[in-house]
């Protein structure tokens, strides 16, 4: 039986994120497997997977910062904004963009940026993903969203391919960024290749190629699992030693703050708090319970996600 843990797969090109999950789930015979951030079939790189009860913790991960590298192809536009889609436009004539011109356009996208969500995306409109409308030929107005671009760097330029690296916020569509660059340069563009190097606490150095992972599973070898506590270091932590309190936690009961000698002023009311035992085992994720009537009195910890089994 596999542990409640995370594992980073180096997603191969050509598979959807869900296909990777299905393959791992089938090979491991694991009941629950989830992923923490979708990658397009074209993209490769960091795809974090959560196993069993670790799937309960996905919402508490800090994956607000992403890092991608790849190539933008100038002079070609497609309906999906990458090379997997149908070509809708080609630039006539030679590409006369210089590295300086490309770098200057990249610089426009530093900071807070408004993006139009690609029509081929999983964002839903009236309960239906945008790609479903696009595939059926139904026109919808895609939403806009605010994202943060920390850095957008030109690595090299060998026409028509522009190698780049971008550090950005969660929710950024790099395909849209490439299309915007092409529009600003006046020649159009699409993503040619894309590799995710980092997603929050998960990095490429931890990523295991899918085929190698399948080999390890077939040989019953140990997997490079990551414990939940390793990826929840951004959350404050309380050590629980009392067995009666642990039993209350296991049953999802609220814990009075005076039982754990804790002051509510130590934490923000919006903070999620990690509860661990003396051995460093994750017991639960909890939150300060604010009195509904006064809106200010905080006397208890309410369990958000219990990770320990109930005692008999």
**Residue from 40, 82, 104, 277 carrying the catalytic annotation:** 40
**What is each CA distance from 185 to 74, 116, 161, 166, in whole angstroms?**
9, 18, 14, 18
Per-residue pLDDT band for 136 (boundaries 50, 70, 90) equals confident
Strands 189-199 and 65-74, bridge-based pairing: antiparallel
> How far apart, in whole angstroms, are the C-alpha atoms of residue 1 and residue 120?
38
CATH entry 3.30.2350.10 includes domain 65-199 = yes
* 40 given a catalytic annotation: yes
Contact status, residue 126 vs residue 120, Cβ threshold 8 Å: no
CATH class of the domain whose range is 235-306: mainly beta
Q: What is the pLDDT of residue 1?
A: 67
pLDDT, tens only, 7-18 = 999 999 999 999
Once rounded to an integer, what is the mean pLDDT over residues 149-172? 97
Q: Under 8 Å CB-to-CB from 162, ≥6 apart: which residues?
A: 71, 72, 73, 74, 102, 154, 156, 181, 189
CATH 3.30.2350.10 for the 6-62+202-230 domain, yes or no: yes
Phi and psi of 210, rounded to 5°?
-60, -45
Band (pLDDT 50/70/90 cuts) for residue 312 is: very low
pLDDT at 196 exceeding the cut of 80: yes
Cis bond upstream, residue 48 (ω within 30): no
Contact predicate 131/37, CB 8 Å: no
How far apart are the C-alpha atoms of 247 and 255, rounded to whole Å?
A: 11
What does residue 78 show for φ and ψ, rounded to 5 degrees?
-130, 165
- Can you give the pTM of this predicted structure? 0.91
The mean pLDDT of the chain is 91
Report the share of the chain in percent with pLDDT over 70: 94
Q: For residue 196, give the 3-state DSSP assignment.
A: strand
Q: 189 pLDDT exceeds 90?
A: yes
Angle formed at CA 21 by CA 15 and CA 26, multiple of 5 degrees = 110
Tens of pLDDT, residue by residue over 64-123, are 999 999 999 999 999 999 999 999 999 998 898 999 999 999 999 999 999 998 888 888
- Domain range summary for the chain, segments of one domain joined by +: 6-62+202-230, 65-199, 235-306
Bridge partners for 128 per DSSP? 125
- Angstrom distance (rounded) from CA 163 to CA 139: 33
Instruction: Examine the pLDDT at 231 and tell me if it is beyond 50.
Output: yes
Q: Does 235-306 match 6-62+202-230 at the fold level?
A: no
Contact 142, 117 (CB under 8 A): yes
Output the pLDDT for position 133.
85
């Amino acid at each position: 039986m596999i542990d409640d843990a995370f594992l980073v797969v180096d997603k191969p090109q050509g598979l959807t994120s869900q296909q990777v999950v299905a393959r791992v789930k089938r090979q491991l015979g694991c009941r629950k497997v989830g992923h923490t951030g979708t990658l397009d079939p074209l993209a490769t790189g960091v795809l974090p997977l959560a196993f069993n009860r670790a799937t309960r913790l996905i919402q508490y991960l800090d994956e607000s910062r992403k890092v991608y590298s790849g190539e933008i192809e100038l002079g070609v536009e497609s309906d999906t904004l990458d090379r997997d889609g149908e070509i809708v436009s080609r630039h006539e004539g030679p590409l006369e963009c210089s590295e300086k011109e490309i770098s200057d356009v990249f610089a426009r996208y530093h900071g807070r940026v408004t993006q139009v969500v690609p029509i081929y995306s999983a964002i839903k409109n009236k309960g239906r993903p945008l790609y479903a409308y696009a595939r059926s030929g139904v026109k919808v107005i895609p939403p806009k969203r605010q994202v943060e671009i920390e850095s957008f760097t030109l690595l090299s330029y060998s026409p028509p391919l522009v190698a780049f690296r971008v550090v950005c916020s969660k929710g950024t569509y790099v395909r849209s960024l490439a299309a915007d660059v092409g529009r600003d340069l006046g020649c159009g563009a699409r993503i040619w290749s894309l590799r995710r190097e980092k997603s929050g606490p998960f990095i490429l150095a931890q990523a295991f190629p899918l085929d190698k992972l399948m080999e390890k599973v077939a040989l019953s070898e140990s997997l490079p699992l990551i414990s939940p506590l390793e990826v929840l270091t951004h959350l404050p932590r309380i050590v629980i030693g009392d067995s009666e309190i642990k039993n209350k936690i296991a049953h999802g009961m609220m814990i009075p703050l005076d039982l754990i000698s804790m002051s509510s002023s130590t934490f923000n009311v919006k903070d999620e708090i990690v509860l661990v035992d003396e051995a460093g085992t994750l017991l639960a994720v909890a939150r300060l319970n604010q009195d509904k009537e006064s809106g200010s009195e905080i006397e208890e910890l309410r369990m958000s996600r219990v990770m320990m089994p109930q005692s008999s």
